[in-house]
Structure 1
Amino acid sequence: MVVNLFEDVLEDVKGLIKLGHICIDNNVFRCHYKASVIILIAFSILNTSGQFFGDPIDCLCSDEIGDDKNDLLDSYCWIHSTFTLPKALHKKVGLEVAHPGVDQYKPDDVKVYHKYYQWVWLVLFLQSLMFYIPRYVWKLCEGGRIKSLVFDLDKPVLKPSEKQEKLGLLVLYLKSNIRYHNSYFFYFVICEVMNFANVIIQIYLVDGFLGGAFTTYGTDVLKYTEQDQEKRVDPMIATFPRMTKCTFHQYGPSGDVQRHDALCILRLNILNEKMYIFLWFWFLFLAAISGLVVLYRLIIIFVPAFRYLVLRSRARMTDPNHLKLVMEVSKIGDWFLLYLLCKNIDRQNFKELIQEYTKEIVDDGSGQHLMAYPDNPDKLK
């Protein structure tokens, strides 16, 4: 399944930019599998584009280690990580320290190691896969049902005979499968809950990846702009330092172990700090609207009258009396199917569909459906 998911994402990455001809979800759902996937893949590609930023790391050693070992030093510090000193973040640059977080240190000083930077591109790509999983699951559960039921009724102009034939087929399906679509609806609800859970989980996963700095990253940046310039510490530099230290050991001419302290420039952190401040606000926005969607679904499930209002707002051309009758005999899964059909079918065609469907309901011989309008059955004609 993982391989199929990976192939599906790669095949659909270009198609994500375009809106699909058939809509089987909503705008919030698309924010997860379209907007989020595009953003994360774009950031991942940008993070690996060394031609725009040069080498990801350049280290300078105060001791003479030889020009032939500069590349070795860069590779060593990139692989084994660099560090900063929290105590040096609050010191004055140019007077007490050379750069924020960079200072002389003792063996017992607290060091913050930065090991994330070589994995940023991969983590971003894996996050894009996680955002696509609910969409992948929903496509499997949906099985192309809406696409097969549209019957070209999304076109406003059809031959009368062709339109009548397609409407008849769709009405026949709806009547034959009435009250058998509840699982279809709840599969979609589960995928929406997956979207909400995914963005919450990702916030905490990124927080762990960045050493516990992500959950408050956005608020820290906002607070930073309001603080006294003499006392404030840039949270972006604290989380994504541009200048760090690295300790490199080698054997000297006499065989003794020599320690070299290097200053390392992390060019990519200029990009990383901007990417993650954007992702902080984007994840917060997704979590808020996804939580509202879950609340909306609970109202849909437990308040049947609200379903009619939602469908009525979408199908304004349809006779409200016909809609009321259809809602009287339908379960929540039937309502959801009609709602998706309404989003994909031309409004006039949907009006005629509900009209024909109502006739089939009245003519099924049970008589109980007429109780919706006992005083004026002509409304159903």
Structure 2
Amino acid sequence: MLDIFRGLKSLLKVSPIHIDSPVFRLHYSITVSVLIAFSLIVTTRQYVGNPIDCIHTKEIPEDVFNTFCWIHSTFTVSTNNPEPYARMYLPGSPGIRTTHNDKEKKVYKYYQWVSFCLFFQAILFYTPRWLWKSWEGGKICALMMDLDVAVCSEIEKKQKKKLMIDYLWENLRFHNWWAYRYYFCEVLALVNVVGQMFLMNRFFDGAFLMFGLEVISFINTDQEDRIDPMIQIFPRMTKCTFRKYGHSGDEEKHDALCILPLNVVNEKIYVFLWFWFIILSVLTFLTVVYRIIIIFSPRMRVYLLRIRYRLVRREVIDTIVRRSKMGDWFLFYMLGENVDSLIFRDVLQDLAHKLNRHDFHHAPGFKGEIQEA
């Protein structure tokens, strides 16, 4: 199993150059790695064993019967009886009984598609990252110019700082569209994680949205009265019907009892994913709310720069936020996370000094001058 995770190290590696938020990185690093790892584990017989083993008549080869039941799905028998499963059927095997009513049969077809679904989910989680990386265009890396470490010579440092200040000066107020595209990617990440909850709910016939809560309720219920929600969605024992024609041309029906060892793994995977997606949804929603506040509140932008970069004087931050727009603020914030703190302080101070020496048309706001987004 370590070989599987060793191959995913490249996804878990976070670039030293930060062009996004920590919550956004959870989507494309941790989540994508986990989904791909789960997809590989499900498809690896070394850790799961045979995905299905059926007990049946010896007239049909075992491999043929198992393959047929795996491809054509299996079923359990549902009931409207409110009693706990353990009292209705075989102990630990809900849905295993005889029936001649097809309406009582609950067919399970999803298990062949679990690995593909997990891999598809990983692609969806990486999509916002791919979009932002394309739109960002290496701007942060280009502006850094290796100023994340303050070990270069003073002459080289001054030259690089001058280049950065010149760029910021000449392109001031032209970064809104750049920042809004990143905010769009964060909204897309939120839509993706919430949408995937509903996607999995559809995948499991409407049984996933409340899955985690039902598992918690199951754990806290008395053993005699509780119903295991994991067995309802991921049955470990099912039935399969194989039909063939005999020597005389009559149809022969062979009923088999099938064990699904794979579902023992599947249930653990989706319990984890339910809780992880809920946590990720809440964090991403709070991040989107935070972005909305930043867009409409210049005062919040001033406050965030002050508490994040304490080496920069207050009047410098006030001047820069007054004379710039929201997109510029986002660029400053990202540069501050990547550039050496002392160099970043010098850049902002020189930029503020340059701004104070030139006339700008201001919009009324904080202290009468802070620009709106």
Q: Is it true that 1:245 corresponds to 2:239 in the alignment?
A: yes
> Which region of structure 1 is more displaced relative to structure 2, 131-140 or 351-360?
351-360
Distance 1:327 1:96, change over 3 A: closer
Which residue of 141, 145, 150 maps to 2:139? 145
Q: Secondary structure at the match of 1:155?
A: coil
Whole-angstrom distance in 2 between the partners of 1:131 and 1:39 = 11
Which residue of 90, 100, 105 maps to 1:97? 90
Q: Report what 2:4 is aligned to.
A: none
> Which region of structure 1 is more displaced relative to structure 2, 73-82 or 350-359?
350-359
Whole-angstrom distance in 1 between the partners of 2:74 and 2:329 = 58
Equivalence map 1:328-367=2 (5 Å)? 328-364=322-358, 366=359
Paired residue type of 1:103: R
> What whole-Å deviation, never above 9, does each CA across 1:194-238 have from its counterpart, x for those lacking one?
000000110000111111111010011111122232222100011
> Which region of structure 1 is more displaced relative to structure 2, 79-88 or 34-43?
79-88
Equivalence map 1:246-261=2 (5 Å)? 246-261=240-255
Q: Report what 1:54 is aligned to.
A: 49
> What whole-Å deviation, never above 9, does each CA across 1:259-313 have from its counterpart, x for those lacking one?
1110001010000000000000011011111111111111001111000111112
Which residue of 107, 125, 136 maps to 1:131? 125
Which residue of 35, 38, 43 maps to 2:33? 38
Equivalence map 1:358-377=2 (5 Å)? 358-364=352-358, 366=359
> What whole-Å deviation, never above 9, does each CA across 1:333-357 have from its counterpart, x for those lacking one?
1100000000000110111111111
Q: Secondary structure at the match of 1:30?
A: helix
Q: Report what 1:74 is aligned to.
A: 66
Q: Report what 1:219 is aligned to.
A: 213
Distance 1:19 1:251, change over 3 A: same
Whole-angstrom distance in 2 between the partners of 1:192 and 1:156 = 32
Distance 1:257 1:89, change over 3 A: farther
Deviation of the 1:90 alpha carbon: 4.5
Tell me, yes or no, if the aligned pair for 2:84 and 2:227 is still in contact at 8 Å. no
Deviation of the 1:96 alpha carbon: 4.6
Tell me, yes or no, if the aligned pair for 1:86 and 1:110 is still in contact at 8 Å. yes
Whole-angstrom distance in 2 between the partners of 1:221 and 1:96 = 21
Aligned residues: 357
Tell me, yes or no, if the aligned pair for 1:90 and 1:100 is still in contact at 8 Å. no
Structure 1: runs of 5 or more not aligned: 1-11, 375-381
Distance 1:90 1:72, change over 3 A: farther
Q: Secondary structure at the match of 1:113?
A: strand
Distance 1:342 1:60, change over 3 A: same
Q: Secondary structure at the match of 2:94?
A: coil
Equivalence map 1:157-172=2 (5 Å)? 157-172=151-166
Q: Secondary structure at the match of 2:348?
A: helix
Q: After TM superposition, what 4+ stretches of structure 1 lie above 6 angstroms from structure 2?
A: none
Tell me, yes or no, if the aligned pair for 2:48 and 2:261 is still in contact at 8 Å. yes
Q: Secondary structure at the match of 1:103?
A: coil
Equivalence map 1:303-322=2 (5 Å)? 303-322=297-316
Whole-angstrom distance in 2 between the partners of 1:18 and 1:69 = 48
> What whole-Å deviation, never above 9, does each CA across 1:60-90 have from its counterpart, x for those lacking one?
12xx342x52111101100000011122895
Whole-angstrom distance in 2 between the partners of 1:342 and 1:52 = 46
Paired residue type of 1:78: W
Whole-angstrom distance in 1 between the partners of 2:302 and 2:24 = 22
Which residue of 138, 146, 150 maps to 1:156? 150
Tell me, yes or no, if the aligned pair for 2:88 and 2:94 is still in contact at 8 Å. no
Paired residue type of 1:181: H
> Which region of structure 1 is more displaced relative to structure 2, 352-361 or 184-193?
352-361
Tell me, yes or no, if the aligned pair for 1:89 and 1:233 is still in contact at 8 Å. no
Which residue of 152, 175, 178 maps to 2:169? 175
Structure 2: runs of 5 or more not aligned: 1-6, 368-373
Tell me, yes or no, if the aligned pair for 2:85 and 2:227 is still in contact at 8 Å. no
Deviation of the 1:250 alpha carbon: 1.2
Q: Secondary structure at the match of 2:61?
A: helix
Q: Is it true that 1:209 corresponds to 2:192 in the alignment?
A: no
Tell me, yes or no, if the aligned pair for 2:77 and 2:106 is still in contact at 8 Å. yes
Equivalence map 1:284-303=2 (5 Å)? 284-303=278-297
Q: Percent identity?
A: 43
Paired residue type of 2:170: S
Distance 1:108 1:46, change over 3 A: closer
Equivalence map 1:14-29=2 (5 Å)? 14-29=9-24
Distance 1:92 1:118, change over 3 A: closer
Paired residue type of 1:97: L
